[in-house]
Amino acid sequence: MERFVIEGGHALEGSVRPSGSKNEALPVLAACLLSSEPITLTNLPDIVDVRVMLEVLEDLGCEVVRGPSGPDGWSVKITAAELRGPELEPELCKRIRASILFAGPMVARLGSVKLPPPGGDVIGRRRVDTHFLGLESLGAKLLIEDGYRLVSDGLVGAEIFLDEQSVTATENIIMAAALAKGTTTITNAACEPHVQGLCRMLVSMGAEISGIGTNTLRVTGAERLSGTDHRIGPDYLEIGSFMGLAAVTNSDVTITDVRPRELRMVLHTFARLGVEPEMGDDWLRIHPDQLLKVRQDLHGAIPRIDDAPWPHFPTDLMSIAITVATQCEGTVLFFEKMFEGRMFFTDSLISMGASIILCDPHRIVVVGRSQFYGTRLESPDVRAGMALLIASLAAKGTSEIYNIRQIDRGYERVDEKLRALGARIVRDEA
């Protein structure tokens, strides 16, 4: 098992480019099953979750040709000309939550799929009901056995109202609808940037999709979809993570390949904590000596930061924002609405010196500013692991972080990127 050893307390300086979006890469990899023609993906992040998805594709009979990693990230050419069987390999699926994204493409292409329960982060209950309710509306039949089996003798477009704005359920239904007969209307759909990226890829393959970027999508299915070339967009969650890192370490960091429109709520929320970047058309810079102070609400009320579906503040950046708040003057309430296990990582921040009150599984109060001290830590999930890495870089002394495979699931070569900025971080065997 590998670990990170970090000597904290050093300011960083330089430029960093985010990898391609993990949350876009995973659904577009699954969407490669919708066509028998070659599909080339560029700016693919070289992370654990992507590698597992490629293993699943190969196990299903896809030809996967990995290209070199260059200025535009990693490239992969995938040809799903002949697919083997409807069953996904259980051991592979245990390693990744995104295995459920194969449900829509496989039932659309093969008329059948057998899915073992998906793996992934342990951050609370994660419903799969919305996926199957949507696919059943298109004509698939669900059988619950030692997993989930979907069968269909032909999908047909339908009016679908999602009972929650689930990103992966929206993506599954879009992919299935792309090969369904007729038009599907999805209301209360998720519309995050990665959902939009998947839609743009499917349009380039021949699907008709209107309403991209809104909560109502209309998908007109095609008899067949062609191959395409698709560039995965920058990971706005990684951008937000590096913003938080630069602020708490008093660093001078420029982040390139930025889409400012995708960061509006992230910028607004960080501004409430005193983080004010300089912005360009496709870059942003965090200057040193940010005035990290909680901006109170009117009449001196303690502010609340909460998460919600796009375009609100994303749940995947809550752990980062909490870590930033520990280094701010003032008090702030965080309300995590989506996962009842995400806040438990704050015990680790408390062990480093943070002043945090855990009110219940969904709410904490952070009182800053606290001095972090290095200690032994373990990464519980992707985003909490990155938050602990940020805290370690700001701490006095040396920290050790174990179970770093969790961080590698979502952040490509993060230790190399940090060393390029001057961080004192080593990856070695525990």
Q: H or E element: which one contains 428?
A: strand 424-429
259: cis peptide before it, omega within 30°? Answer: no
CATH dotted code for 22-231: 3.65.10.10
Q: Which residues contact 197 (CB under 8 A, 6 or more apart)?
A: 21, 24, 28, 230, 232, 233
Instruction: Look at residue 125 in the predicted model and tell me its pLDDT.
Output: 46
Instruction: Look at residue 339 in the predicted model and tell me its pLDDT.
Output: 78
Q: Which residues of the chain have pLDDT under 70?
A: 70-72, 118-126
Tell me the pLDDT tens digit for each residue of 227-281. 999 999 999 999 999 999 999 999 999 999 999 999 999 999 999 999 999 999 9
* C-alpha–C-alpha distance, residues 130 and 156, integer Å: 18
Check: CB of residue 49 under 8 Å from CB of residue 265. no
Q: Domain 2-19+234-429 classified CATH 3.65.10.10?
A: yes
Dihedral, 130, 135, 137, 140 alpha carbons, nearest 10: -140
Q: H or E element: which one contains 79?
A: strand 73-79
* C-alpha–C-alpha distance, residues 395 and 389, integer Å: 10
Six-digit token string for 61: 């009979």
Residue 209's Cα: distance from chain center in Å? 23
Annotation marks residue 307 as catalytic? no
Domain ranges of the chain: 2-19+234-429, 22-231
Instruction: Look at residue 241 in the predicted model and tell me its pLDDT.
Output: 98
Catalytic residue among 49, 72, 121, 306: 121
Q: In three state form, how does the secondary structure of 16-65 look?
A: ECCCECHHHHHHHHHHHHHCCCCEEEEEECCCHHHHHHHHHHHHCCCEEE
Strand duo 183-187 + 216-220: pairing: antiparallel
**Which residues, listed in sequence order, are joined to residue 405 by a DSSP beta bridge?**
none
Q: Which residues contact 371 (CB under 8 A, 6 or more apart)?
A: 353, 396
Beta strands (DSSP E) in 245-383 are: 252-256, 278-279, 283-286, 304-306, 330-335, 355-360, 363-368, 376-378
CA torsion through residues 48, 428, 380, 147, sign:
positive
pTM (2 d.p.): 0.92
Same topology, domains 2-19+234-429 and 22-231? Answer is: yes
Six-digit token string for 166: 């689930």
Interior/surface letters 129-149, b for 16+ CB within 10 angstroms, e for the rest:
ebbbbbbebbbbeeeeeebbb
